[in-house]
Amino acid sequence: QVTLKESGPALVEPTQTLTLTCTFSGFSLSTRGMRVSWIRQPPGKALEWLARVDWDDDKFYSTSLKTRLTISKDTSKNQVVLTMTNMDPVDTATYYCARTLFPEARVFWHDYWGQGTLVTVSS
């Protein structure tokens, strides 16, 4: 059974750095083909993909946010960590981690999602 769960602060102040942890079970990020993405959703708005880390430690970022994001994995702990610098109130959103499948070119989807964690940016 695949499960993912996000954890991190519910409130951060503007200009601070946000650190979120995704703890998962039911698969291993050391297994070829496994990947985990972070996706966010501002209140009442659409989903936005942020970043992805692959089993071989390849990392990919949203073009618009790449200067602010860092994704990493700890295979021994079954965790993926996302940091986002210089937080702003527009970054207020529910942040999800999701297992990501990419078995061949142009075939990329998120099959299991965490419950999400709401992060509010405010002073």
Q: How crowded is residue 37: how many other Cβ atoms within 10 Å of its Cβ?
A: 24
Closer residue to another protein, CB minimum distance, 78 or 100? 100
Query: Binding to another protein by residue 2, rule CB under 8 A?
Result: no
The bridge status of strand 117-121 relative to strand 11-12 is parallel
Q: Which stretch binds another protein (CB under 8 A): 9-17, 24-32, 57-65, 78-86?
A: 57-65
Closer residue to another protein, CB minimum distance, 44 or 123? 44
- Size of the residue set binding another protein (CB under 8 A): 24
Q: Is 65 exposed, middle or buried (0-12, 13-18, 19+ CB in 10 A)?
A: middle
**Eight-state DSSP code of residue 53:** E
Q: How far is the CB of 56 from another protein (least distance, A)?
A: 15
Q: Say how far apart CA 2 and CA 95 lie, in whole Å.
A: 18
Residues 3-32 that bind another protein (CB under 8 A): none
Member of 18, 96, 119, 121 binding another protein (CB under 8 A): 96
Buried b vs exposed e over 112-121: b needs ≥16 C-beta within 10 Å?
A: bbbebbebeb
Positions that interact with another protein (CB under 8 A): 37, 39, 46-49, 52, 60, 62-63, 96, 100, 105-116
